[in-house]
Chain A
Amino acid sequence: MLPYVFRRLLQAIPILLAVAALIFVLFSVIPGNFATSQMADGRSNIDAATIERMNQQFGLNDSLPLRFAKYVGGLATLDLGDSFRTRQPVINLIGERLWPSLQLALAAMLFAIVIGVPLGFLAALRPGSWIDMFSMVFAVSGLSLPMFWLGLLLMYFFALTLNWFPSFGYGDGDPRYIVLPAIALGVSPLALLARTSRAAVLEILHADFVRTARAKGASSYRVMRWHVARNALVIVLTTLGLQFGSVLGQAVVVEKLFAWPGLGSLLVDSVTWRDIPAVQGCILTIVLFFLVVNIAVDVLCAVVDPRIKYS
């Protein structure tokens, strides 16, 4: 197993490099740079000499391949460069934001798993019932609702009308602050998990080995616990991995809306101000998180289902 994990981690390197290269190219194509973005407020007049000095300070006058080579050289020593905006090492900025982002991602996924998976199982066990209808309506709605709009609805209903939760902010360890952003972020994976669980359980319920188990006189509980749930779990885990991995990237909108101090809000501000090192750092972290979560899920699948072997 360990050589497999090591190999997968090695495979992540070219992916990260490709992402870094893509960001470099994108930012060299779109108009504007950090120096000129400083004038956006209409009150900061920056003369040509200052723009030139800033471009020089941040190495923006170098050719794209040279800048990329320098960046990759830095990456090798975990140096993500310094942020143009804050003049601080990007790795420090990410360090400050990673834990709040992880907290939010974990809370959102917990919400999605605790509700989504049982909902999918129940719907599959009673196909065509009201719970099946409800779970599928919920799943379709959850997948199609724009996150920003859902967040606003939650704010208006649970913060403004019912006054159950604060509408924004990180709080001082007060768990009430994470509830609304976690729900806003968790609804989409919840919907997908519910749908996937339902489909997986339905399929397995009709499998030969389940029929055989029942014919052998196994109790419903035993059939569900040992035959259906274990087999469905692999499919659910794979979906979970994909969702968990991408939730950090999806959090951009939610973090900005709820003033949650995670990577997403850092990324938005960095894009606005053309802070290329910070953008790169944030995106690479999100990509790395996605890769690591999916490797972990692969390992977990092998633990759950002994038939899966990685050579």
Chain B
Amino acid sequence: MLKKLAFTTALTFAAFTLQAQAQEPRRGGTIRFTAPYGASFVSNDSHVSNQIQDEIYGYALHGMLYKWDAKNGKPVLDIAESVQVSADGKTYTYKLRDNALFHNGRKLTADDVIWSYTRIMDGSKNYPGARYVARIVGATDVQKGQAKEISGLKKIDDSSFSMTLTDKADPGYFLFQAQTAILPAKEAQAAGFFEKPIGLGPFKFVEHVPGSRMAFERWDKYYLTGKPYADKLVISPMGEAAARDVAFRNKEVDVSILGSTQYVAYKADPNLSKGILEVAEVFTRNMGMNPTFKPFSDKRVRQAINHAIDSELIIKRLVRDKAYRASSWLPLSSPAFDKDAKPYAFDPEKAKKLLVEAGYPDGFEFEWTATPNESWGVPIVEATIPMLAKVGIKVKVKPVETSALGGVVVGGDFQAYIWSNTSGPDTLTALKCFHSSTPRSSCNYTTFKNAGFDKLIDDASNEADTAKQLDLLKKANALLQEEAPVWFFNYNKAVLAYQPWLHGLQPNSTELALQRYEELWVDTTSPAAK
């Protein structure tokens, strides 16, 4: 089944790529994008917000050290033209692009990069990007107020600098988000800068009508010659799926992120179904089990739960096939995803047997914390209740608000929870969340502890050979499946509906709503082609 899914996904990507390549990009027109995760943007300052909603405009306005290459599923350099890595894999020396210019025409310098990262580490501001920049040596000293400069950042000359990391890691995986945008050092310190911010991105800021739209125009001196293609870009925050649906059908917007109900409707429509982009995002929906609750400390109980729930049925009926069945933690788009691995089979008899072996022949009762989310919340929990009851496990639902779930989980105040957690794009980082040295507050929510798993992750961290590292990570992912710290439910299938005149969309598995706008273009059939 998974092989089939992976194959179908690959075919979709291939067909999509071919279609995009078949036409020559056209210059001009307006791209009318939607930001579907709220009723507004938080701020004109990309360092302030950790929400995807704000990254959606951040990709237009700003340049980062890296950017995500969606087609190849890896980070690539953005504002730097080259990088050299030291023998120990910890020090990176960058040469910045000569033609990277801020929207006021000033050339990017190493000072801008260093200042931007230092600003993000300002401990009094708690900028969300600090969790990424903190991996540079000396960054946390700035955060704690013990230093004014990040010791791991050294300016070599105006166009080059070095960056030393605290551990061996590929910085591309954590320095491509808009929260780490490079701002113009001098200009950004001037009063009123964020009323009309400038950056290095493909589009210049024109206006922000809070709660309605953010408008941009093409930056003619963007470092990629000939790009962006569109003259203008308008991004409208539209949190309401039904309203987005009407606007899309009415051809007022060029894209719309679809929920499961709309996904079914769009797939069934002969016209709308032609413009659907599907991607297996790096999010794994799961039920985390707290080992301090006695039954969940036994691996056999956790495995029994994985066997007792008919995940495929739930995905088909409730999630309406807008998800891929999960076999373990790493999603389909991960290079360490094992296509041959089989998910836990729906086998209530085996589940019962495992429960008997674990000493729970009559089952037990547990409290399951869940949000109202339709794809990974109370509706899903309710569907599992009769399945678990058949093997003797009773469930008591504990509803919480989405914004409160994180606090409940980090505080360890749960027996089980259901959530959608990031499982990429960096495979090593995703699996490190299950390393025993990772605290619950960082992402080891189930306080998973397994010596064998720790060793595999430690070896992978120290392995220089990429192929060998990948092999170790595959083994770790397989061990995770065996240990079942969570019920592996599904990997999110993100779906973007697009109008026939919009081209150049990228299957971004980190978040489909995040597009590199310099690649997008509209043909003459767009209502906003002029």
Contact = CB atoms under 8 A, between A and B. Distances in A.
Contacts of A255: 39, 211
Nearest to A161: B250
Interface stretch (B65-73, B415-423, B459-467, B480-488): B415-423
A9 interface: no
Contacts, number: 173
A265 interface: yes
Interface residues of A, number: 57
A89 interface: no
Given A50-B131, A152-B242, A86 B42 contact: yes
Nearest to A168: B247
Contacts of A41: 50-52
Interface stretch (B9-17, B156-164, B289-297, B399-407): B399-407
A84 B213 CA distance: 22
B403 A272 contact: yes
B363 interface: no
B212 interface: yes
B249 A160 contact: yes
A259 B212 contact: yes
B38 A269 contact: yes
B283 interface: yes
A36 B413 CA distance: 13
Nearest to A96: B210
A104 to B, nearest CB: 12
Nearest to A87: B48
Contacts of A48: 410, 439, 441
Interface in A57-83: 57
Residue from B43, B125, B130, B247 having most chain A Cβ neighbours under 10 A: B247
A272 B405 CA distance: 12
B236 A168 contact: yes
B436 interface: no
Given A36-B410, A87-B48, A259 B443 contact: no
Interface stretch (A25-33, A192-200, A204-212, A230-238): A25-33
Given A41-B51, A86-B43, A170-B213, A31 B407 contact: yes
Contact of B126 (A32, A39, A57, A86): A57
A167 B126 contact: no
Given A42-B283, A97-B210, A265 B39 contact: yes
Contacts of A32: 400-401, 403-408
Interface string B114-132: 0000000001111010110
A37 B211 contact: no
A160 B252 CA distance: 10
Contacts of B249: 160
A53 B236 CA distance: 33
B14 to A, nearest CB: 28
Contacts of A152: 242-243, 246
A270 to B, nearest CB: 10
Nearest to B510: A43
A156 B250 CA distance: 9
B423 to A, nearest CB: 9
Interface string B427-451: 0000001000001011100000000
B252 A50 contact: no
Given A48-B410, A159-B246, A257-B240, A169 B128 contact: no
B146 to A, nearest CB: 14
Interface in B100-149: 123-126, 128, 130-131
Given A57-B124, A86-B48, A272-B38, A259 B252 contact: no
A45 interface: yes
Given A31-B408, A86-B48, A87-B43, A167 B252 contact: yes
Contacts of B422: 42-43
A50 B126 contact: yes
B40 A261 contact: yes
A272 B37 CA distance: 11
Residue from A57, A259, A269 having most chain B Cβ neighbours under 10 A: A259
A41 B210 CA distance: 22
Interface string A16-54: 000000000000001111011111111111111011011
Contacts of A166: 250, 252
Contacts of B439: 47-48
A149 to B, nearest CB: 10
B260 interface: no
Residue from B45, B48, B125, B407 having most chain A Cβ neighbours under 10 A: B407
Nearest to A274: B403
A53 B405 CA distance: 20
B504 interface: no
Interface in B227-249: 236-240, 242-243, 246-247, 249
A43 B250 CA distance: 33
Interface in A88-105: 88, 93, 96-97, 100
A31 B249 CA distance: 39
Contacts of A97: 210-211
Given A31-B404, A33-B407, A40-B405, A261 B246 contact: no
B252 A46 contact: no
B226 to A, nearest CB: 30
Interface in A155-179: 155-156, 159-160, 163, 166-170
Given A50-B130, A169-B212, A170-B209, A42 B420 contact: yes
Given A46-B131, A87-B48, A260 B212 contact: yes
A116 B247 CA distance: 30
A280 B421 CA distance: 31
Contacts of A45: 131, 433, 441-443
A46 to B, nearest CB: 7
Given A259-B243, A262-B211, A272-B38, A44 B252 contact: no
A289 B46 CA distance: 33
B49 interface: yes
Nearest to B419: A42
B239 A36 contact: no
B212 A85 contact: no
B54 to A, nearest CB: 10
Contacts of A258: 243
Contacts of A265: 39-40, 211
A121 interface: no
B252 A168 contact: yes
Contacts of B51: 41
Nearest to A265: B39
19 contacts: A32-B400, A36-B410, A38-B128, A39-B405, A39-B410, A44-B128, A45-B131, A46-B410, A47-B131, A53-B126, A57-B125, A57-B126, A85-B48, A160-B246, A170-B213, A256-B240, A257-B243, A260-B211, A266-B210
Interface of A: 30-33, 35-48, 50-51, 53-54, 57, 85-88, 93, 96-97, 100, 152, 155-156, 159-160, 163, 166-170, 255-262, 265-266, 268-269, 272-274
* 9 closest cross-chain pairs (CB), A and B: A39-B406, A32-B404, A36-B407, A261-B211, A43-B422, A37-B403, A265-B39, A261-B212, A170-B212
